Amino acid sequence: MDILSVLEDKKRKKALTKEQIEFFVRGAADGTLPDYQLAALLMAIRLNGMDARETADLTMAMARSGDMLSPQVGGVPVDKHSTGGVGDTTTLILAPLVAACGGKVLKMSGRGLGHTGGTVDKLESIAGFRVSLPEEEFVSIVRRVGCAVVGQSAQLAPADKRLYALRDVTATVDSIPLIVSSILSKKFAAGARAIVLDVKAGSGALMPTVEASIQLAQAMVDIGAHAGRSVIAVVSGMEEPLGSHVGNALEVREAIDVLAGRAGGPLKTVSLFLGAQMLVASGVADSEEAAQKMLAEALESGAGLRKLKEMITAQGGDSAVCDDPSLLPRAPYIRPVIAKTAGYLSHVNGTALGLAAQRMGAGRVRKEDPIDPAVGFVMEKRIGDRIEKGDVICTLHAKDETSAREAESRILDTLTLSPDPAPRARLLYALITPKGVTELCQ
């Protein structure tokens, strides 16, 4: 078998055999296939798709391309994954909250992908925080603390690690088979038995429509059932940044503020809903109502923030940032963006807004690009807000005046003001389980 025959078949829209899929996944994992051939195959998959059988075969081949953990953590190992968005910092809130309620959160996260932020990049803005841990230490921290968040190790799903980086720089991010296999292969390899997926829909999501997001969610739930894992999915809105802070250290700051009771809003609402699903899926709570009560008590008592401090300390980070967020990296140039006209904020181009943060240095254009943890912006207005001329729309945190000026232009171009009142963006659309789709009304 050779890669050219695999490329030829997918170029001509043929379904790849299980053997062909295992061949190219093995070549991605062991380095025998070069980036340019893998990139060509990723584009062929993006353009011509994969059927359900191909996607399931790809997922399992990627999961088995390295170690497969079966961790003993004193409970059901649970993970949560978002398909990506802007200002989406739910992991840093719900992981410690779920752990504070008795859950065992075994979280493997990724770096930024396209216009979306990455949890690993965010955590690395905390001095000393280690996202690369030996598998034994990763499991030990979950057993002892209740939660740990790491990046992909060389041993877990190595094929995905390489393909993930290539997707980021080859415009192949928005492919359902590639998204499904990337997400679930990591979860299966890391040993999660219960998985909650947050599938975003809207202008800042990989899937721009609710219908496409439900299709993606159903594909992942189906493959989870096929693999014997408890997988449920939530379709949530990404018409604008979920939190107000966009940028790595800025998003860590906002997560700390939520856990400390200083901030709320959509980020808190979605985090608590996802956290409740995690507690139910892992058997810690017997109903969503009981789970919501447990999470509210952990938030009110400060147990969630204390658990975040425990996790940061266990992973080598400076947990003092939880008491003093000013210890996080700070940009040297901070200034407001002022509204030039009045109106109601009726639409946000979420993808373009995420790319504005990327161009400031909060994300990568090339896979080898460094991240500036301090840069980004804080949105002061949300969809539905009335904006007067001269109001502060957002606050820029930039490396210099030139970067700030470019970011201001890009951000203003992402916003649409209308003379008439506009409705608030919807937060939650649907809950997908093996039993079907339930519409949500928030």
Catalytic site positions? 81, 160, 167, 182, 186
Look up residue 99 and give its two tokens. 């752990």
| Burial profile 265-278: b = 16 or more Cβ within 10 angstroms, e = fewer | ebbbebbbbbbbbb
CA neighbor of 16 nearest in space, from 46, 55, 66, 47: 55
Element (H, E) at 165: helix 158-168
- Between CA 125 and CA 328 the distance in angstroms is 7
* CA–CA separation, 9 and 279 (whole Å): 44
In angstroms, rounded to a whole number, what is the distance separating the alpha carbons of residues 29 and 3?
14
Instruction: Answer yes or no: are the C-beta atoms of 268 and 92 closer than 8 Å.
Output: no
Asked if 398 and 413 touch (Cβ cutoff 8 Å), the reply is no
Sign of CA dihedral 385, 343, 245, 217: positive
How far apart are alpha carbons 360 and 331 in whole angstroms?
Answer: 11
CB within 8 A of 301, min separation 6: which ones?
none
Q: Please check whether residue 355 is in contact with residue 397, taking contact to mean a CB–CB distance below 8 angstroms.
A: no
Q: What is the dihedral of CA 245, 249, 255, 258, to 10 degrees?
A: -70
Amino acid at 201: A
Evaluate whether 313 touches 319 at the Cβ level (below 8 Å): yes
Helix (H, G, I), strand (E, B) or coil at 340: coil
CA 21 to chain centre: 26
DSSP letter, residue 253: H
